[in-house]
Amino acid sequence: MRTPEVSFRLDGKSAFIIGGATGIGKAIATSMLAHGATVYIGSRNVEVGERASAEMGSVFVPLDVTDSGSVDAAVDRVVSLAGRLDIAVNSPGGRLNKPAELTTDEEWRDVFNVNLDGIFRAARAQGRVMLEQGVGSIVNVASMSALAVNTPQTQSAYNASKAAVVMYTKSLAAEWAPRGVRVNSISPGYTATAMTEKSRAEPAKLQAWLDLTPQARVAEPWEIAGSALFLASGAASFVTGHNLVVDGGYTLW
């Protein structure tokens, strides 16, 4: 038998990228479009989402991952437009820098409601469609904060939520592998997006981040995109339950 060519191409595939209008999600959407996928992006801000879609050539589907009905309706909409759902990337996230002893119940719940529960709601809806199809690939965006405690800022709720995303991803991977659905996560290091903009403008904090990163710089969003592209593509057909760390070496020290 001829060995099939290893390919990162996504021609003929539909991809739904939650958080795809900005930052890391937008870089992933751009790279999937360049590799042939039909891309749908979802988030709350309609103006930002429509503008990003017009710029990239994707379709914007508004949704709020804190609302199951909104997530289910958005996934239904993508399936009705595309006819199927081959790839899903879940990149919604919010961070909270707060000492652990001062974190309120509400702040803790807000972080988990987007970062973990949002991914649960999204992957559940996407998984139902993919299991029915018998094929699909989901990539959840976790963080290096799932593996290492960042400093100097304190962010216990964020760290815990991201660690849970990695374990939830492994659990889905094990459950759904026999039915043709792969589920992986990526764990970016510090990346130049809106999420880190304020911190990057603080010279002492930025220097502390760089000192703790072997590559001594933050990533550009496009440098994170290849990891999601690989995991979503046929090149990763035997990869499931993996957490691909893309952190310039941060978690080595």
Ligand X SMILES: NC(=O)c1ccc[n+]([C@@H]2O[C@H](COP(=O)([O-])OP(=O)(O)OC[C@H]3O[C@@H](n4cnc5c(N)ncnc54)[C@H](OP(=O)(O)O)[C@@H]3O)[C@@H](O)[C@H]2O)c1
- Do the Cβ atoms of 227 and 244 come closer than 8 Å? yes
94/234 with CB nearer ligand X: 94
Q: Which residues bind ligand X (CB under 6 A)?
A: 18-19, 21-25, 43-45, 48, 63-66, 91-94, 114, 118, 141, 143, 188, 190-191, 193-196
Q: How far is the CB of 143 from ligand X (least distance, A)?
A: 4
Please identify, using beta-carbon distances, which residue of 226 and 234 lies nearer to ligand X. Answer: 226
Which is nearer to ligand X, 97 or 196 (by Cβ)? 196
Q: C-beta of 67: minimal distance to ligand X in Å?
A: 8
Active-site residue identified among 158, 168, 190, 250: 158
Active site residue 158: yes
Closer of 23 and 136 to ligand X (Cβ): 23
DSSP-derived secondary structure for the chain: -PPPPP----TT-EEEEETTTSHHHHHHHHHHHHTT-EEEEE-S-HHHHHHHHHHHT-EE----TT-HHHHHHHHHHHHHHHSS--EEEE-------B-GGG--HHHHHHHHHHHTHHHHHHHHHHHHHHHHHT-EEEEEE--GGGTS--SSS-BHHHHHHHHHHHHHHHHHHHHHGGGTEEEEEEEE-SBSSHHHHHHHTSHHHHHHHHHT-TT-SPBPHHHHHHHHHHHHSGGGTT--S-EEEESTTGGG-
Which C-beta is closer to ligand X: that of 132 or that of 198?
A: 198
Please list the active-site residues. 158
